[in-house]
Amino acid sequence: MSEKWKFCNRYDPYTMITGDSNEFPTDPKGSLFESGTGLHDLSHIHVLSSTVDTVKQIYHGVIKLNWFEKIERFLNSNEEFLSDGPYGPWHISRIGKSSGYQLKLQNNEIGFVILLKTVYAKHDKAASHLKIEVSPHRIRFAGSCGALQGELDSIAIWLLEEGWKYVGVAVHLAVDVQGWNPNLDFMEKLVTRTRTTKDFRGISDFQLEDLSEIATVYDGGQSFLFGKASALQMAVYRKDLEISKRDKVDYFHDLWNKDGKDWFESDKRVWRIEVRLHHGIMREIGLGLGGKIESFEEAESVLTDVWRYGLDRNRLMLTERYIDPFWQLLIQDVQFSLPTGVVVRRVKKKDMSNAGKNVAMMIGNIVTLAARRQMDAIQVVRMIEDMALYADVLDYLKSKGYRESRLLEMVERGLKIRRLLGKAA
């Protein structure tokens, strides 16, 4: 931190209440912050998780001719799926030049997106031909930076000739919190080194464009984006709404329940503060430390430090002199490391906020076809019960507060409406 700004003194509220002395010892982890404006109690603010949200590893080398030609043959023959190679099958496609690459191999189930063949060099010339983007769940289940680096390197060995090397790694660090909301003067109080600042309010939709930047914001809320994706970027947004849009509720509720020390409350807002560091920034940080940071494994030891660097470059101030206590908490208390010993297990999805729409549409389409074939309601229900997806139907009914018997009523009503209104398929 710059000496121009001051941290608040921190105290344990319990000590201040029960202590006998007028002088109370400071506590580096205390939830009571003292500034020139008075005391600020942050005991209601809880950090639910601190995670590496995205890794983008770049490799320099020559693409293996046999794999390059095979992928090209697949695309020219309108084949979409490549079953060969590690972590397959892969969905393959051509992509626009704006990405800097020509080919994409994607497996979201595993959590890897491969960008292959830079637009700036031929495939048989050594260049930055390979970029691998890693999803949050893959990072979490890797177990360690070294294990994840090994997985990424196995893809490089698959696609590149011997002699490839690391030439950069971009990292996104994210902290999810409950109990904090940005004040109306958040934009005015945040001191940033960037000229690129976006504030989205009252827009009716919210989504993330690929893994890099916020595109729009949600209804009735607000989101902030500072900086460019090609440098140091920071985003602040409602994570609880974003995970609902992306059908990731179960994954994040499980994460927050495990990491949040029983603080997580599913009916309350969750805000994410995310620092995104381009590979060029990571390289410069490495040089500043007298070394290099061009792979994710090399970044492991400085993850917490680059998080603090990002918050210092985009600093929320309480006054001209004191940093905001919440920002101080994020700087002093948050640590980044990958979990070890994670047990990979299959868990059936419980949240039906998005899947429920698909179940309702499926039942509606079945009823429409059944009305055309003059089937009765009992026949339709038995057919649905025999489906492998019947468990999802039961989950949908449960999410609506219905008993299983309600399905027959729904089907009967649906058949009657379609026949009376002439809307049978």
**Per-residue pLDDT tens for 279-325?**
999 999 888 888 889 999 999 889 999 999 999 999 999 998 899 99
Which tokens belong to 358? 């698909």
Are residues 58 and 130 in contact, defined by beta-carbon separation less than 8 angstroms?
Answer: yes
CA 23 to each of CA 19, 20, 28, 141, 392: distance values in angstroms, whole numbers, following the listed order:
9, 9, 16, 47, 61
Residues 204-227: pLDDT tens digits? 444 434 333 433 433 344 788 988
Residues 362-384: pLDDT tens digits? 888 888 888 888 888 888 888 88
Residue 145 neighbours by CB under 8 Å, 6+ apart: 296, 297, 299, 300, 338
Which residue type does 168 have? G
Residue whose C-alpha is closest to residue 270's, from 308, 306, 244: 244
State residue 393's pLDDT score.
83
State residue 118's pLDDT score.
95
Residue whose C-alpha is closest to residue 293's, from 127, 119, 149: 149
Instruction: Indicate the range of 42-46, 212-216, 266-270, 324-328 predicted with least confidence.
Output: 212-216
Instruction: Tell me the percentage of the chain whose pLDDT exceeds 70.
Output: 84
State residue 56's pLDDT score.
97
Q: What is the pTM of this model?
A: 0.75
The answer on pLDDT for 29 being more than 70 is yes
State residue 105's pLDDT score.
95
pLDDT (mean) for 5-19:
75
pLDDT (mean) for 328-352:
63
In order, the DSSP letters of 50-116 are EEEEEEEEEEEE-B-HHHHHHHHHHHHTT--EE--STT--EEEEE--GGGTEEEEEEETTTTEEEEE
How does the average pLDDT of the chain come out, rounded? Answer: 83
Tokens 């449960």, residue located:
398
Which residue type does 114 have? I
State residue 111's pLDDT score.
93
- Give CA–CA dist 118/97, Å, rounded: 9
Q: Per-residue confidence at 234, pLDDT binned at 50, 70, 90?
A: very high
Higher per-residue confidence, 420 vs 275 = 275
For the four alpha carbons of 337, 342, 344 and 345, in that order, the dihedral sign comes to negative
Most confident of 15-19, 150-154, 238-242: 150-154
pLDDT (mean) for 20-49:
82
State residue 351's pLDDT score.
56
Neighbour-count burial of 255, counting CB atoms closer than 10 A to its CB (0-12 exposed, 13-18 middle, 19+ buried): buried
Which residue type does 113 have? V
Our CA angle for 45, 251, 112, nearest 5°, is 120
CA 408 to each of CA 193, 355, 398, 405: distance values in angstroms, whole numbers, following the listed order:
62, 21, 15, 6
- Give CA–CA dist 56/30, Å, rounded: 36
Q: Per-residue confidence at 202, pLDDT binned at 50, 70, 90?
A: very low
- Give CA–CA dist 193/170, Å, rounded: 20
The answer on pLDDT for 15 being more than 60 is yes
For the range 33-37, what are the long-range contacts, defined as Cβ-Cβ under 8 Å and sequence gap of 24 or more? 33/8, 33/9, 33/325, 33/328, 33/329, 34/8, 34/9, 34/10, 35/6, 35/8, 35/318, 35/319, 35/322, 35/325, 36/319, 36/321, 36/322, 37/318, 37/319, 37/322
85 Rama class: left (phi>0) / alpha (psi -120 to 50) / beta: left
State residue 397's pLDDT score.
80
Instruction: Tell me the percentage of the chain whose pLDDT exceeds 90.
Output: 43
State residue 93's pLDDT score.
93
CA 165 to each of CA 33, 114, 119, 203, 281: distance values in angstroms, whole numbers, following the listed order:
47, 16, 19, 43, 19
- Give CA–CA dist 319/6, Å, rounded: 10
The answer on pLDDT for 346 being more than 80 is no
Instruction: Indicate the range of 35-49, 259-273, 387-401, 402-416 predicted with least confidence.
Output: 387-401
State residue 401's pLDDT score.
78
Residues 134-167: pLDDT tens digits? 999 899 888 788 999 999 999 999 999 999 999 9
Q: Per-residue confidence at 1, pLDDT binned at 50, 70, 90?
A: very low
Residues 54-96: pLDDT tens digits? 999 999 999 999 999 999 999 999 888 888 888 889 999 999 8
- Give CA–CA dist 353/5, Å, rounded: 45
Higher per-residue confidence, 334 vs 205 = 334
The answer on pLDDT for 237 being more than 60 is yes
Instruction: Indicate the range of 102-106, 306-310, 342-346, 378-382 predicted with least confidence.
Output: 342-346
Which tokens belong to 170? 């971009």
The answer on pLDDT for 178 being more than 60 is yes
Are residues 371 and 415 in contact, defined by beta-carbon separation less than 8 angstroms?
Answer: yes
Q: Per-residue confidence at 199, pLDDT binned at 50, 70, 90?
A: low
